[in-house]
Structure 1
């Protein structure tokens, strides 16, 4: 691995972490008209009764015929925790690369990366033909894909996994939590708390910064 100009990377989850409550898929499903069905499927995923592929296929079917531009407009109203721009800025000032490692749909990751300056984003991709969603999934993505994406990002940046952190809240973060040097459970489920290096409960994302300081020299 070549020496890196960065001190580390921080991988941020989206749903339940940057997007509070039911998350970005539920926000979009409210406009699309299948929020109750999606909520039931996500509860089944959390209980281990459905896998991410099944949930994604159910959700994607509700996007059929919708224009990309319409979804982009709905994302402007996406509820977010306070402190995201300040946290991203802090990371960059301390030579930590902020990355979205998420199971949220790729349009959500693209929106947040463009809005706040995240280096890259992951996620399943809904199929688009001629500017409209088809109701099918073009690329599936699960919790192990999230981990693999983050580790690939670290390699591209010339970073060892031990110099990276993950901030998340739920089952989908567990493989990544186990693969990085620092894991922060932010307003998290009991399982995520048990797996994390440290837990933080606060409405503002800036509350994770004291934990992230462990990745940088004490003098910074």
Structure 2
């Protein structure tokens, strides 16, 4: 028998949980294509490159790396302080903390393993025999991020009215637009405009009062499905 679920909070990764740069930049530094990726991400932010184009530039740099090596590099991916406290708050209050992100799937799997998030969605680099092949096996954009989040909530039997999202940038806006409560954290102007509330902080635990207000506004026990 699974425990009841009162709600779901969807967390972005890069710029939200990851405190400096992005998870892709963290890996690209080790792969050796950090400068090219940083330029591509700047151009994505200003709208001159698509997510698909950035993913293809980044994935090419993974060619020849083993999956075990990448997993090891992700063990020290820097995140904001307070992540453990926020996940613990979610678990204590029967709220599912789900990663909804354009970060590569090894990144979200690593964060889920380290902190107790649910990893769901994200793009994939192809793997052959335990080695990355440098091609994008699955593209994933901001609309896939929104749609995958909605499908996850449906599968858990949690109405979208009992979901919220925390993020910082352009890729969060489609999800912000469909959940009833969204928090822009250290965010761009566009993300702030799409969110219900915005805060700036160097400690993720500062989102807890907002989460408490959101949860209190829901009333009722929520879903009993698992």
Name the residue aligned to 1:198.
Answer: 197
In the alignment, the residues of structure 2 paired with residue 123 and residue 81 of structure 1 have an alpha-carbon distance, to the nearest angstrom, of 21
In the alignment, the residues of structure 2 paired with residue 141 and residue 192 of structure 1 have an alpha-carbon distance, to the nearest angstrom, of 19
Following superposition of structure 1 onto structure 2, how do residues 161-176 of structure 1 map, counting pairs within 5 Å?
161-176=160-175
Q: CA RMSD in A?
A: 1.5
Can you give the 5+ residue segments of structure 2 that lack an aligned partner in the other structure? Answer: 220-226
Can you give the 5+ residue segments of structure 1 that lack an aligned partner in the other structure? Answer: none
* Cα displacement string for residues 71-124 of structure 1 (whole angstroms, at most 9, x for unaligned residues): 111111211101111101101111111000000000000000111111232210
Please report the TM-score for the alignment, with normalisation by the length of structure 1: 0.95
User: Does residue 137 of structure 2 align to residue 138 of structure 1?
Assistant: yes
Name the residue aligned to 1:43.
Answer: 42
Name the residue aligned to 1:114.
Answer: 113
In the alignment, the residues of structure 2 paired with residue 117 and residue 160 of structure 1 have an alpha-carbon distance, to the nearest angstrom, of 22
* Cα displacement string for residues 136-172 of structure 1 (whole angstroms, at most 9, x for unaligned residues): 0110000000001110111111111121110000000
Contact 1:25–1:104 under 8 Å retained in 2:
yes
Following superposition of structure 1 onto structure 2, how do residues 2-151 of structure 1 map, counting pairs within 5 Å?
5-151=4-150
Q: Is 46-55 or 156-165 further displaced after alignment?
A: 156-165
SS of the counterpart of 1:217? helix
User: Does residue 159 of structure 2 align to residue 160 of structure 1?
Assistant: yes
Contact 1:123–1:146 under 8 Å retained in 2:
yes
In the alignment, the residues of structure 1 paired with residue 29 and residue 17 of structure 2 have an alpha-carbon distance, to the nearest angstrom, of 18
Please report the TM-score for the alignment, with normalisation by the length of structure 2: 0.93
- Name the count of aligned residue pairs: 217
Structure 1 runs, 4 residues or longer, greater than 6 Å off: none
